[in-house]
Amino acid sequence: MEDKRETIVQTLQRGGVVLIATDTVYGLAAMPTHTQAVEKIYLLKGRPREMFLPIMVADVGDLERLGLDINERARKVFESELVPGAVTFVLGFKEGSVKPDWLQNREEIATRIPNHALLLRVLKETGPLLVTSANKHGQPVTQGRVSDILAELHGAPDLVVEEGVGKEVPSTIINCRFDPPVVERLGLIPAHIIDNILYR
């Protein structure tokens, strides 16, 4: 695993795009500070540029360092057994926070801490990564063999890390900018489980 982790980290730090397994679907990952790598993700997916890419981090501390506002209810979920895991949080920024350059045009981010040992080790070394599902934009997330995923993309990632068949169900998205938070997409985690944590 160490050799694999080192190869992934080096590829990302050189400005490459990596196809990598997560705890849900396969994803396309890039360092947010490498603009050419970010552009390549948009091209691979055929994703409109006005649609921002989600972020994955290793822990809540990474989010706090980005200046994100983690309110009381969001923190309940972050501190629950669901994290790390298949929950994506939409968060805004604290008033007066200083954003890094790559977040200057964003008022909110969708972010997740994945429950995947290799990816977490990569994130601990690289810091936050832009990671989005490895499928053509506008098409259902249908995961299978990596060869099938690659055939759907407009080109090839710089590194492919194959770990068997990916899941077909993405993460559940909770928008924590609302009070109470709103489930915007149902995924692997059912809404009633999230509600039990938010309101217990």
Local structure of residue 127 (DSSP, 8 states) = -
Lowest-confidence pick of 33-37, 44-48, 140-144 = 140-144
Rounded to 5, what percent of the chain is helix, strand, coil? 30, 20, 50
pLDDT in tens, 119-178: 999 999 999 999 999 988 877 766 668 888 999 999 999 999 998 877 778 899 999 999
pLDDT value of position 30? 98
Positive or negative, the CA dihedral 103, 54, 50, 152 is positive
Domain tally for the chain? Answer: 1
Q: Report d(CA 196, CA 77) in Å as an integer.
A: 10
Give the CATH number, domain containing residue 36.
3.90.870.10
What is the span of the domain harbouring residue 167?
2-198
pLDDT in tens, 85-101: 999 999 999 988 888 99
pLDDT value of position 198? 84
Q: Is the peptide bond preceding residue 84 cis, with omega within 30 degrees of 0?
A: yes
Question: Both tokens of residue 147?
Answer: 């060869």
